[in-house]
Amino acid sequence: MDAQGRWPPAELVLDARARLGEGPLWDERRRVVVWVDILAPAVHAFRPGDGSDTVIPVAQAVGAVALREQEGLLLALEDGFWLRDDGGRMLRLAPVEADDRSIRMNDGRVDPAGRFYCGTMAYDERPGAASLYRLEPDGRTSRVLTGATISNGIDWSPDGRTCWYIDTPTRGVDAFDYDRETGALRHRRRVITIPDGAGWPDGLTVDAEGCVWVAFWGGWCVRRYTPDGAFDREIRLPVAQVTSCTFGGDGLDELYVTTAWNGLSDADRAAQPLAGGLFRARPGARGLPARRFGG
């Protein structure tokens, strides 16, 4: 923060030109940022140490990725949950709405017990078509929330008692009481309300102090809110479609931010040549280690 109380803007670390970058996670074992380009579709692994980016094409739209306790990754593809091992072999673990190609998987994250929660959305974004699913390590799935429109960012408080969740068109961030033993989400309430003109809440991450960092689609920024919903600080970006964020680096003090060019006009793309890039900020906070599926 400078003398005027402003936080430095995020810097470009990878000119990926992703159509719809999303879902970054820090893999501390490999020291890479794992993220997806939903509509490419592809999974990326960016290594800050040397600036390299490994691209793994996949056959379907990939809404989210999770790290595993074992080797490889868990992928939320259009038709359900898949495992990918380090040799590139793919195994479908559980179908999700596989008979409805108008629906795809969207954002997701692993909970404190090693389960994976991931939402859906309709390609045409029709209201009420989305759900939130829970995947158990043994492959069992259950629908835990219905009637959403764009099921988006989700994460848990450091003490594991609160789940934070975004359904983008509602223009807010909700909290649930979370039961680690059963995975149940209860007592939904609105904690953060986004004013008109500020952009649309997209992905989120929770830091070590329990504050919530929200990426804003159409808002040119990531904002931090305290657990009681008070606005705390803002990180600006040079692109409008800001999609998600995660803490990474050896000290978990670097904020990595995904962006997109999807939805921009030709004129807007020309004015935002870095849209779809991967950005990094040092926001004066630390994150939590990424939880792994199957833990």
> Any idea what the CATH number is for the domain that residue 186 is in?
2.120.10.30
Which residue among 202, 207, 250, 253 is the active-site one? 202
In a domain, 292, yes or no: no
Cβ neighbors of 40 (< 8 A, separation 6 or more) are 18, 19, 20, 57
Between 3 and 33, the more confident residue is 33
pLDDT at residue 56 tops 80: yes
In a domain, 290, yes or no: no
pLDDT band for position 8 (cuts 50, 70, 90): confident
pLDDT at residue 9 tops 90: no
What does each C-alpha distance from 245 to 177, 199, 207, 213, 235 come to in angstroms?
23, 16, 11, 8, 11
In a domain, 286, yes or no: no
In a domain, 6, yes or no: no
To the query of whether residue 202 is one of the catalytic residues in this protein, the response is yes
pLDDT band for position 4 (cuts 50, 70, 90): very low
| Phi/psi at 190 (5° precision) | -85, 125
DSSP classification of residue 293: B
In a domain, 289, yes or no: no
In a domain, 288, yes or no: no
pLDDT at 18: 98
In a domain, 2, yes or no: no
Q: Give tens-digit pLDDT for 175-206.
A: 999 999 999 999 999 999 999 999 999 999 99
Q: CA 127 to CA 216: how far, in whole Å?
A: 20
Q: Give tens-digit pLDDT for 108-150.
A: 999 999 999 999 999 999 999 999 999 999 999 999 999 999 9
Mean pLDDT of 34-58: 97
Dihedral, CA atoms, 101, 103, 107, 109, nearest 10 degrees?
Answer: -80
Q: Give the residue numbers spanning the domain of 89.
A: 11-281
Q: Are 215 and 153 spatial neighbours (Cβ–Cβ below 8 Å)? A: yes
The pairing of strands 254-259 and 242-248 is antiparallel
pLDDT at residue 2 tops 70: no
168: burial class by Cβ within 10 Å (0-12, 13-18, 19+)? buried
In a domain, 287, yes or no: no
What proportion of the chain, given as a percentage, has pLDDT over 70? 98
pTM score: 0.96
Task: Identify residue 281 by its one-letter amino acid code.
Answer: A
Mean pLDDT of 77-95: 94
Cβ neighbors of 99 (< 8 A, separation 6 or more) are none
pLDDT at 236: 96
What proportion of the chain, given as a percentage, has pLDDT over 90? 94
User: Under DSSP, is residue 174 helix (H, G, I), strand (E, B) or coil?
Assistant: strand
- Number of structural domains the chain divides into: 1
